[in-house]
Amino acid sequence: MVFVLPKKVVKAIQRQNRLTAITTTLLLPIIFLGCSYGRGSLNLSEAEEQLRLKNYDQAIASYRAHIARRLAVKDRPSWENPHFYLMLIVDIELARNNIEGAQKALEEAQAEGVDATLIADRWRSFANWFEQRGRPREALHLLQTHRELDPLLFDSALDRLAKKIVQLEEQAPPELPAPKPPKDMESF
């Protein structure tokens, strides 16, 4: 069986860091094939089609409908966590620069027990998003906040960001001292 991802998902995956690409590429076929039975697959197919058409709001709504349908299945496999699809919503929101929507979906995924490795990977994607937009302090803060998820990888990124911030500070022009008031104004 050949499994083809929508172009938008492939592009989003390519923009993510290497670990995101690896985990997403390996897990998507497993999840899709494992969950593609029953009526829930209709929502999943609709989500993929809407994503291909760049109808992001409709794609997100279809992914959420798929999650709801899979949660309603009483005899679904014990290993299946339909909230995994929130990770795809995170990717969509980051790709369209909706950081608030991406954060909300990621926090929901974390609260619903999506694998911690996937959650940590997406927080690193958030940090990359901030860094690519010239906001390394926000990236640093985000990684510090979520460091407990993957201390080894986060520490590496934190070190790199700290060095970058120091370098930017060293390159910045020195601040000029405040001008002194004229002597006749000193008494005020």
Could you tell me if residue 52 is inside a domain? yes
Whether 183 is covered by a domain: the verdict is no
In a domain, 176, yes or no: no
Entry pTM: 0.67
Is 184 a domain residue?
A: no
Q: Which domain holds residue 60?
A: 7-171
How much is the average pLDDT of 68-88? Answer: 93
Is 129 inside any structural domain? yes
Average pLDDT of the residues in 5-12:
59
In CATH, what number is assigned to the domain containing residue 13?
A: 1.25.40.10
pLDDT in tens, 132-183: 998 989 989 999 999 999 888 888 888 898 898 888 888 877 776 766 666 6
19: pLDDT strictly greater than 80: no
In whole angstroms, what is the distance from residue 78 CA to residue 101 CA?
Answer: 29
Q: Which residues 6+ apart lie within 8 Å of 132 measured at CB?
A: none
Domain count, the chain: 1
Average pLDDT, the chain: 80
